[in-house]
Amino acid sequence: MPREITGFSNPLIKRVRSLRDKKHRRREGLFLAEGLRILAEAEEAGFLPEMLFYARESAEHPIVRRLVRATEAAGGDVIETIPDILHKLSGKENPQTVIGVYPERIVPLSALDRSSADIWIVAQSLRDPGNLGTILRTGDAVGAGGLILIDDCVDPFSVEAVRASMGALFTQTIATARWDEFVSWLRAGPGQLIGTSLNTDQDYQMPTYQRPCFLLVGNESQGLPTTYEKDCDILVKIPMLGKADSLNAAVATAVMAYELLNQRRAR
């Protein structure tokens, strides 16, 4: 049976609230996910929370009831609480009906099966959590194998990134690596590395892309380092017909990812 917590000073509330901070997430190996849609997506992908918090007002909602049953059956901790506590946990003025606490899911490159998907997304020094979450959604939409984070990227398990992913965090494998480590791993097997850059005249629709494709996107303000561009098999450019010289990193990733998908569909 769910237990009830309504006190703000409860040690568990303080512990879970601390997961909004990266330092505490790293120490605990846990992160927060909010909302019926994201938690339902996680359940569908085979992930249940270690802790589930829900407002007593939503106890009869069919998805809440299903999540409560499944979490309890899996040995998770289920807590019925009040909206003010959910607000304290999420930091939002209008908190979601449910909040789940999940273990972080980062894998080493050696755990990736590059043959399991035709498209992989690689992000270098990405800084914006909204962009990272949107890129995860794009990866899910095009059937990518996962997202490889290179160098010092924003935390994919921050509250903002998890919200922006809209559940794709649970459907996409996430790996982290330094650049040299990634290049060594990539060259040990099949895979074409495609970089988007302003330092080329090759239109993004001109090449015939191989499988698997590793789509590399750089930092939002600086793009890819020149030395990293030299390691790419292909550099391509998305045409810009207006005043702006480049697209938002997440938008550019989506444009490229759908070009890769469309070429695969055409074959």
Q: Which pair of tokens denotes residue 78?
A: 């289920």
The mean pLDDT of 14-31, rounded to a whole number, is 94
Q: Tell me: the pLDDT tens digits for 152-181? A: 999 999 999 999 999 999 999 999 999 999
Distance CA 167, CA 177 (A): 23
Q: What one-character DSSP code corresponds to residue 143? A: T
Q: Which residues pair with 55 in a beta bridge?
A: 81
> What is the predicted pLDDT for the residue at 210?
94
Q: Tell me: the pLDDT tens digits for 197-240? A: 888 999 999 999 999 999 999 998 888 999 999 999 999 999 88
Q: What residues does each domain of the chain span?
A: 3-103, 109-266
Q: What one-character DSSP code corresponds to residue 57? A: G
Q: Tell me: the pLDDT tens digits for 84-112? A: 889 888 877 666 689 999 999 899 999 99
> What is the predicted pLDDT for the residue at 93?
66
Distance CA 217, CA 238 (A): 12
Distance CA 218, CA 249 (A): 7
How confident is the prediction for the chain on average, in pLDDT? 93
Please give the span between the terminal C-alpha atoms of the chain, in angstroms, as a whole number.
Answer: 53
Nearest to 146 by CA among 127, 118, 185, 125: 118
Q: Tell me: the pLDDT tens digits for 229-260? A: 999 999 999 988 887 767 789 999 999 999 99
CATH 3.40.1280.10 for domain 109-266, yes or no, is: yes
CA distances to 113, 150, 212, 226, 233 from 181, in Å: 16, 9, 18, 17, 17
Q: Which amino acid would we find at residue 266?
A: A
> What is the predicted pLDDT for the residue at 122?
98
Distance CA 196, CA 198 (A): 7
Superfamily of 3-103 according to CATH: Ribosomal protein L30/S12 (3.30.1330.30)
CA atoms within 13 A on the CB side of 184: 7
Distance CA 5, CA 80 (A): 6
47, pLDDT greater than 70: yes
